[in-house]
Structure 1
Amino acid sequence: MPVATPSLTFDFAGIQLDRRQGLSRQLYQALRERILDGRLSSGTRLPASRDLAASLSISRNSVMRAYDQLYAEGFTDGRIGDGTYVAQLPDKPTPAKKLSTKVSTGLSPSLSTGLSTKSLNHAGDLSSKVIHSASMDLLERHHLSAHKTGLPRAFRVGIPAFDLFPFDVWGKLHAAFWRKPGLHQLGYGDPAGEWRLRELIAVYLRTSRDLQCAPEQIVITSGAQQAIALCAQLLLNDGDGVAIENPGYRAAGHAFAVAGATLFGMPVDAEGMQCPDSNDSRCKVAYVTPSHQYPLGVTMSLARRLDLLAWAERTQGWIVEDDYDGEYRYSGAPLAPLAALDRHGRVLYVGTFGKVAFPALRLGYLVLPRNLVKPFSQRRAVDMRHSEIGTQAVMAEFIASGHFQRHIRRMRRAALNRRDALLAGWPQDLPGCSPMPKPSAGLHVTVTVESQAREQDLVAKAESVGVEVAPLSDYWLPDSDTPVDNRAGLVLGFAAVPEADIASALERLRGVWR
Structure 2
Amino acid sequence: MEPVFPFDLTLSGPGTLTRSLHHQLRAAILDGRLGPGTALPATRRVAAALGIARNTVVTAYDLLIAEGYAIPRKGAKAVVAELSGRRTAPPPARQSGFDDSRLNALWRTPLLHPEPGRALPERSFRLGVPDHRHFPHDTWRRLSAQSLRAWSRTGFGYAGSEGIPALREAIAAHVAFSRAVACKADNVVVTSGAQQAFDLLARLLVTAGRTRVAVEEPGYPPVRAAFAAAGAQLVPIPVDEEGLCVDRLDSDIRVISVTPSHQSPTGVALSLRRRAALLAFARRHGAVVIEDDYDGEFRFGGRPLDALQTLDRDALVFYVGTFSKSLFPSLRKGFVVSPGWAREALVTVKHCADSHSDTITQAVLAAFIRDGHLARHVRRMRSIYSVRRGALLEGLHRELGPWLEPIPSEAGLHLAARIRDPALAPAIVAAMRRHAPGAQSIAEYAMAPPERPAVTFGYGVIDADDIPAALAGFRRALLG
TM-score by length of 1: 0.75
User: For residue 500 of structure 1, what is the aligned residue in structure 2?
Assistant: 465
2:424 to 436, 441, 454: 454
Correspondence 1:197 to 2:167: yes
Deviation at residue 57 of structure 1 after TM alignment = 4.1
- Counterpart residue type for residue 471 of structure 2: L
User: For residue 171 of structure 1, what is the aligned residue in structure 2?
Assistant: 141
Secondary structure at 2:405 match in 1 = coil
Cα distance in 1 between the residues matched to 2:93 and 2:349? 34
| Conserved? CA contact 2:436–2:471, under 8 Å | no
Cα distance in 2 between the residues matched to 1:185 and 1:198? 21
Secondary structure at 1:56 match in 2 = helix
C-alpha distance after superposition, 1:192-224 (max 9, x if no partner): 111100001001112222111011111111111
User: For residue 100 of structure 1, what is the aligned residue in structure 2?
Assistant: none
| Conserved? CA contact 2:417–2:455, under 8 Å | yes
Cα distance in 2 between the residues matched to 1:188 and 1:147? 34
Deviation at residue 8 of structure 1 after TM alignment = 4.5
Correspondence 1:52 to 2:53: yes
Q: CA separation of 1:360/1:246 partners in 2, compared to 1, >3 Å: closer, same or farther? A: same
Correspondence 1:261 to 2:262: no
User: For residue 270 of structure 1, what is the aligned residue in structure 2?
Assistant: 241
Cα distance in 1 between the residues matched to 2:414 and 2:44? 54
Q: CA separation of 1:126/1:149 partners in 2, compared to 1, >3 Å: closer, same or farther? A: closer
Correspondence 1:148 to 2:111: no
Cα distance in 2 between the residues matched to 1:500 and 1:48? 66
Deviation at residue 348 of structure 1 after TM alignment = 0.3
Deviation at residue 470 of structure 1 after TM alignment = 0.5
Q: CA separation of 1:197/1:48 partners in 2, compared to 1, >3 Å: closer, same or farther? A: closer
User: For residue 353 of structure 2, what is the aligned residue in structure 1?
Assistant: 383
Deviation at residue 338 of structure 1 after TM alignment = 0.6
Moved more, 419-428 or 269-278: 269-278
- Counterpart residue type for residue 41 of structure 2: L
C-alpha distance after superposition, 1:324-376 (max 9, x if no partner): 01101112344431101111111000000011012222111000011222222
1:287 to 243, 246, 257: 257
User: For residue 219 of structure 2, what is the aligned residue in structure 1?
Assistant: 248
Cα distance in 2 between the residues matched to 1:126 and 1:364? 33
Deviation at residue 425 of structure 1 after TM alignment = 2.4
Q: CA separation of 1:170/1:236 partners in 2, compared to 1, >3 Å: closer, same or farther? A: same
Cα distance in 2 between the residues matched to 1:163 and 1:228? 30
| Conserved? CA contact 2:407–2:418, under 8 Å | no
| Conserved? CA contact 2:400–2:475, under 8 Å | no
Secondary structure at 1:212 match in 2 = coil
Cα distance in 2 between the residues matched to 1:271 and 1:426? 22
Moved more, 366-375 or 349-358: 366-375
Correspondence 1:161 to 2:131: yes
Runs (5+) with no aligned partner, structure 2: 1-11, 27-33, 60-86
Correspondence 1:21 to 2:21: no
Deviation at residue 393 of structure 1 after TM alignment = 0.9
- Counterpart residue type for residue 131 of structure 1: R
- Counterpart residue type for residue 476 of structure 2: G
| Conserved? CA contact 1:450–1:485, under 8 Å | no
- Counterpart residue type for residue 219 of structure 2: G
C-alpha distance after superposition, 1:119-141 (max 9, x if no partner): xx769549755424322233x23
- Counterpart residue type for residue 133 of structure 1: N
Q: CA separation of 1:326/1:143 partners in 2, compared to 1, >3 Å: closer, same or farther? A: same
Runs (5+) with no aligned partner, structure 1: 1-6, 29-45, 59-116, 479-483
Cα distance in 1 between the residues matched to 2:220 and 2:38? 52
Q: CA separation of 1:405/1:334 partners in 2, compared to 1, >3 Å: closer, same or farther? A: farther
Q: CA separation of 1:51/1:214 partners in 2, compared to 1, >3 Å: closer, same or farther? A: same
User: For residue 312 of structure 1, what is the aligned residue in structure 2?
Assistant: 282
1:473 to 419, 434, 443: 443
Moved more, 250-259 or 411-420: 250-259
Deviation at residue 258 of structure 1 after TM alignment = 1.8
Deviation at residue 268 of structure 1 after TM alignment = 1.6
Cα distance in 2 between the residues matched to 1:185 and 1:420? 51
Q: CA separation of 1:391/1:453 partners in 2, compared to 1, >3 Å: closer, same or farther? A: farther
Deviation at residue 176 of structure 1 after TM alignment = 2.5
Secondary structure at 2:318 match in 1 = strand
Correspondence 1:136 to 2:130: no
Secondary structure at 1:252 match in 2 = helix
Deviation at residue 163 of structure 1 after TM alignment = 2.4
| Conserved? CA contact 1:429–1:435, under 8 Å | no
1:366 to 315, 336, 342: 336
| Conserved? CA contact 1:473–1:487, under 8 Å | no
- Counterpart residue type for residue 182 of structure 2: Q
- Counterpart residue type for residue 13 of structure 1: H
- Counterpart residue type for residue 242 of structure 1: V
- Counterpart residue type for residue 373 of structure 2: H
Secondary structure at 1:511 match in 2 = helix
Cα distance in 2 between the residues matched to 1:354 and 1:19? 41
User: For residue 302 of structure 1, what is the aligned residue in structure 2?
Assistant: 272
- Counterpart residue type for residue 299 of structure 2: R
Cα distance in 1 between the residues matched to 2:55 and 2:376? 72
